[in-house]
Amino acid sequence: MCGIFGYLGKRKAVPILVEGIKNLEYRGYDSAGMAVASDKGRVISAKAVGPVVYLEKKIKKNRLFNGDLMAGLVHSRWATHGGVTEKNAHPHTDCSKNIWLAHNGIIENYSELKSDLISKGHKFKSQTDTEVIAHLIEEAKKKNSLVLEEAVRVTLKSIKGTYGLVIFDKREPGKLVIARNFSPLVLGLGKDELFVASDATPIAPHTKRLVYLKDGEMAVLKKGGYKIFNLDKKEINRRHLDIDWSYEQAQKGNFPDFTLKEIFEQPIALENSCRGRIDLKNKKTVLGGLAGLENELLKIRRLIIVGSGTAHHAGMLGKIFVEELAGFPVVTDIASEWHYRRPVFQKGDAFLVISQSGETADTLAALRGAKKKKILTLGITNVIGSTLARETNAGVYQHIGPEIGVAATKSFVSQSAILLQMAIFFGKQRGLSDAAAYKILRTFRNLPKLVQKILDKSEDIKAVAEKYKDSRDFLFLGRKYNCPVAYEGALKLKEISYVHAEGLPTGELKHGPIAMIDKDFPSFFIMPKDSVYDKNFSNVQEIKARRGPVLALTTEGNEDLKGLADDVIYVPEVPEILYPFLAVIPLQLFAYFSAVLRGQNVDKPRNLAKSVTVE
């Protein structure tokens, strides 16, 4: 969950590294550090606790960073082992300060390795698991007089755990060694220069050509090029991929932060997730990522959808879509729970995993468990070339550009849109009528305009958020299609406002949660005029009878709630199955404005990182 960026080339490394780690800071912002080397083997380093700007200030004050330093690495940390201190910040080095490295991941057997190294005379400066790697490489070089890449290979053979590593040795100038195991690492191919990073974002300003390392692989980067090997020294040839988005898409533009920018990008995100996939003439969806698997998909008797956080909430919505339109059962589960159980698979099962980054550790672990059982695996992801994209049998890309804000927004509507398109695809295979499909698709195609209509009234939602900015607790309640939306609304408020919030199926209210209700405990009902509206209305009355404040989201033109609910937010009328796409927008805006009004940093919420690449 940390950000790593490395550079090797002809330009001055420091400004490239600084800008690169700024573009990766959403992956970790507890602390940051840099080490850069000259062709003559001189190393300059700096560390700072806090955001990257603190590191940048240190670098600017040190004139040594102004030299011709053509190679180096930089790291932004999300703490796992050891507190948030300068000593625990990366990069870490060995006893002699020759080996320098940055690491993303967790070394599970670091304790026994560290004890053995201490017995051999090694001195440790940090509390981290990462520092063990530097000393292991030092020991391997000292014992066997190995070149860096061979010492790294030997070291990795002794390590248990996950890692994305960038390493250099000041005694071997002009060389970086990188390695990956269950922690993302991507190589960027520029003209006479090479880049390496935890994801493509900091590479995009320099080149669109990417090479993704796979688990158990390492690469040696030199000014003349690069070579990829596995840990048994077998060389691997791999073609590069091209980024499908521009660097400008990863910038804030005229917005104050990425979170608001990405909330307002949702009309475009919906368009891109549906472009070329809605065939209104033939009343069907066309999913190129599933082409060639039609016969296998027709044999599905049960679909298992797994994800984490927001992706799991999208999966909950997908369950309802598929069961309603395709008529076969769907199981949804949280990836971290699925992975540690002993799931029972049946003939006709298919396994669908959802991850915006395609690198979520829990989700990939669940995927690999399903693959061992020879189950058909499908995926939804936003990142071309990601591990999820490579390891599933087939899947659908989101095509929404980079999502930088830690709290997922546009990825939720995109994933939900793809799940609805998949449900229609499965349904058409199984007898879904043209009339039923057309009714959904006709309005589905116009959702971007309807979402924009809600966004244009964002100031109204800000006014509601202002009223409740001092509330300490919230319930989010919804039924049927809008139950997953209630969960997602609560998650957004928790993530960026630090307000205690719970999402609930409205029908569960009387089974315990209503005990919490009093005049200081607001409830946010998602209750458009749909098939369960009357049930929701009764629940609103139950809350009001107990003096609980009520916010209600309902359909334009509905006057029933005036005088009953304390505040009402309206969304345009659509077919019932499409309300989640509209209902989630005000909830995102409510969470956003609540956070801003409370003075929180919405792009970098405390204790969180964007891509959860460690368990």
Select which of 175, 284, 494, 610 is catalytic.
610
Told to judge if 234 belongs to the known catalytic residues of this protein, a careful annotator would answer no
Q: How far apart are CA 378 and CA 391, in angstroms?
A: 9
Strands 3-8 and 193-197: antiparallel
Q: How far apart are CA 522 and CA 501, in angstroms?
A: 10
The tokens of 104 are what? 């993303």
Select which of 2, 208, 492, 604 is catalytic.
2
Secondary structure of the chain: what % helix, strand, coil (to 5)? 40, 25, 40
Q: Which of 165-176 are b and which e, b meaning 16 or more Cβ less than 10 Å from the residue's Cβ? A: bbbbbbebbbbb
Residue pair 176/169 in contact (Cβ under 8 Å)? The answer is no
Q: What is the residue-wise DSSP string for 316-332? A: HHHHHHHHHHT-S-EEE
pLDDT of residue 613: 58
pLDDT of residue 481: 97
The tokens of 558 are what? 């509905």
Domains of the chain: 3-243 (3.60.20.10), 249-445 (3.40.50.10490), 456-602 (3.40.50.10490)
| 459: phi then psi, degrees, rounded to nearest 5 | -65, -30
Strands 92-93 and 43-49: unpaired
pLDDT of residue 611: 64
The tokens of 217 are what? 């692989």
Helices (H), 76-224: 110-119, 131-144, 148-157
Could you tell me the pTM of the whole model? 0.83
pLDDT of residue 25: 81
Told to judge if 610 belongs to the known catalytic residues of this protein, a careful annotator would answer yes
pLDDT of residue 184: 87
Residue 261 host element (H or E): helix 258-264
pLDDT along the chain (615 residues), means of 10: 89 92 82 89 91 92 83 88 88 96 92 94 94 95 89 94 94 94 92 92 91 94 92 92 70 88 96 94 95 95 97 98 97 90 92 94 93 96 90 95 91 98 97 96 95 97 96 97 98 96 94 93 97 95 94 96 95 97 98 97 83 61
Q: Could you give the C-alpha distances from 320 to 310, 422, 423, 467, 566, in angstroms and in order?
A: 16, 12, 9, 34, 30
